[in-house]
Homo-oligomer: A and B are copies of this chain.
């Protein structure tokens, strides 16, 4: 098995506080999923394990949740990409913050529940404030979901 060293912190730990409330990935949302997105070489990666009640049909993960984590992985990946593109070294709390403009998800096969899910992203385009991320979700070595997220950086004072 390939060894991977993944930081326990994600880009989400470097958002200013008012950007840290997201249900999907905000470090300050105690009810949320608190996803952590990191670089793994030139790809981005997020890990997630669903709860037993995140069911679609018994045995499989609810597609809406999968769309959610693909979405948050996309905005996190876009933030990482913008930081790298602009030479920003991440520290508390200077990460750029993106929101999703559009999301396209294809469910290739049912995603098994109670399994570690790995969501990986490839940065396809950076154009000004817009970032296009291609993402795939892997369970037990198989790609179950693919998608494309178009994310847009928001001004630092939005939602303040």
Contacts and interface: CB of A to CB of B under 8 A. Distances in A.
Interface of A: 18-19, 21-24, 26, 29-32, 51, 53-60, 62-65, 67-69, 71-72, 97, 99-107, 154, 158-160
Contacts of A68: 62, 64-65, 67-68
Nearest to A100: B63
Nearest to A71: B64
Contacts of A158: 57
Contacts of A62: 22-24, 68
B159 A23 contact: no
Contacts of A101: 106-107
Contacts of A69: 64
Contacts of A26: 55
Contact of A59 (B97, B102, B159): B159
Nearest to A60: B159
Given A56-B99, A104-B105, 7 more contacts: A21-B56, A23-B56, A23-B62, A57-B154, A63-B99, A63-B100, A99-B107
A21 B55 contact: yes
Contacts of A29: 53, 55
Contacts of A51: 31
A40 to B, nearest CB: 22
Q: Which of A60, A71, A97, A158 has the most CB of B within 10 A?
A: A71
B107 A105 contact: no
Nearest to A148: B104
A104 B115 CA distance: 26
